Amino acid sequence: MELQLKGKSVLVSGGSRGIGRAIVECFLAEGARVSFCARQEPGVRQAETAMGKGAWGSVVDVADPDQVKRWVQASAKEMDGIDIVIPNVSALAGGGDFGAWRKAFEIDILGSVSLVNAALPYLKQSRAASIVLISSVSGREIDCFAEPYGVLKAALTHYGKTLSARHASEKIRVNTVAPGNVYFQDGVWGFIEREDPVAFGRSMDANPMGRMATPAEVAMATVFLASPAASFITGTTLLVDGGLTKGVQF
Cβ contact 19:179 at 8 Å: yes
Q: Which of 75, 90, 130, 136 is catalytic?
A: 136
The CA distance from 192 to 199, in Å, is: 7
Residue 149 annotated among the catalytic residues of the structure: yes
The CA distance from 247 to 134, in Å, is: 19
Q: Which of 90, 135, 164, 227 is catalytic?
A: 135
Identify the burial level of 198 via C-beta atoms within 10 angstroms of its C-beta, where 0-12 means exposed, 13-18 middle and 19 or more buried.
exposed
Q: Single out the residue of 133, 19, 11, 156 nearest to residue 70, CA to CA.
A: 11
Name residue 10's amino acid: V
Q: Which of 122, 149, 159, 183 is catalytic?
A: 149
The CA distance from 226 to 85, in Å, is: 8
The beta-carbon contacts of 141-147 under 8 Å, at least 24 apart in sequence, are 141/245, 141/246, 141/247, 144/203, 145/94, 147/94, 147/95, 147/96, 147/101
Write down the H helix ranges in the chain: 18-29, 41-51, 65-79, 98-104, 110-123, 149-167, 188-195, 197-205, 215-226
Identify the burial level of 103 via C-beta atoms within 10 angstroms of its C-beta, where 0-12 means exposed, 13-18 middle and 19 or more buried.
middle
Residue 153 annotated among the catalytic residues of the structure: yes
Q: Which of 16, 130, 153, 203 is catalytic?
A: 153
Give the active site residues: 135-136, 149, 153
